[in-house]
Structure 1
């Protein structure tokens, strides 16, 4: 079972406040720290540290993009 993190804990992993860069999608939190596409916690007009589920409809890629990243927890 994965650890559950609050929205506040996720928000701190925005690439600015803490060294980790996390994003959530459909209730799962992914560590995108190593991704050059998420450097400084920003990916095009999207910011790390938040749930991107609703914004994902605008993405030019599909959900398989998350397969590259480690799922580290669940958004509680």
Structure 2
């Protein structure tokens, strides 16, 4: 699967505010969470879309398996 590569700056724009897409990165992959009701307006509890959430997962009440529900749309440069 050949995914496009995005910079952190490009990811930051997909925050549900600057652009309609709501994307987050995890372990080098970028996921589209736009369809998730838990990510309305680009916010999920104290987390904001458009960021790499890899280091923040340790504080989450769920495991990395949550990302299996979403489609990877890119790779974080």
Q: TM-score, normalised by structure 2?
A: 0.97
Aligned partners of 2:61, 2:8: CA distance in 1, in Å?
26
Aligned partners of 2:54, 2:10: CA distance in 1, in Å?
17
The reply on whether 1:4 has 2:5 as its aligned counterpart is yes
Uncovered stretches (5+) of structure 2, i.e. residues with no partner: none
Q: Secondary structure in 2 aligned to 1:54? A: helix
Cα RMSD, aligned residues only: 0.4
Uncovered stretches (5+) of structure 1, i.e. residues with no partner: none
**Deviating 4+ runs (over 6 angstroms):** none
Aligned partners of 1:7, 1:63: CA distance in 2, in Å?
21
Aligned length: 76
Deviation at 1:69, TM superposition (A): 0.4
